[in-house]
Amino acid sequence: MEKEVAYHYYGREQVLYHFFVEAVQPVPALIHTIDKQLHYITQVIPKVVFEFELKKIDSYRMRYNLKKESRKLMLSSEHSMVILEKKERKLTLISTGNFEAETLLFEHLRNVENTFIAINIEGNSIGWLSPIKQAHYI
């Protein structure tokens, strides 16, 4: 997400959620407009997203297997698995099992960019991976 958009919509995430829901299944007459809006509020996913390294994980979590491809990353263990796939301006995450692998990947994404927002269309939820610090003026 572009920083200025993230700062503007911090605390008003439901507005973004409804926009992304509409973007998934747009009214045919609005496809071009929604695509332009998506392009304006999002940014290209940085390559560093896929520079995830298991050696950065403490020894407790070293039971994970990591498989990387050019646009896909899979982190798995005996009890959890997460697959992250990169499109130009969107990451898609599929997770099974407990939340450990997903949590590790979210920790990495928080370190890459502080304006990532997670949206679960089916679960009707949205949230920032890192809370955005707002400037307070006196």
Separation CA 5–CA 9 (nearest Å): 6
Taking all residues of the chain, what is their mean pLDDT, rounded to a whole number? 85
pLDDT of residue 59: 39
What would the mean pLDDT of 116-123 be, rounded to a whole number?
Answer: 90
Confidence grade of residue 45 (pLDDT, cut at 50, 70, 90): confident
Share of the chain above pLDDT 90, in %: 45
99-104 LR contacts (CB < 8 Å, sep 24+): 100/61, 101/64, 101/75, 101/76, 101/77, 104/57, 104/61, 104/64, 104/75
Instruction: Kindly report the number of other CB atoms within 10 A of residue 132's CB atom.
Output: 15
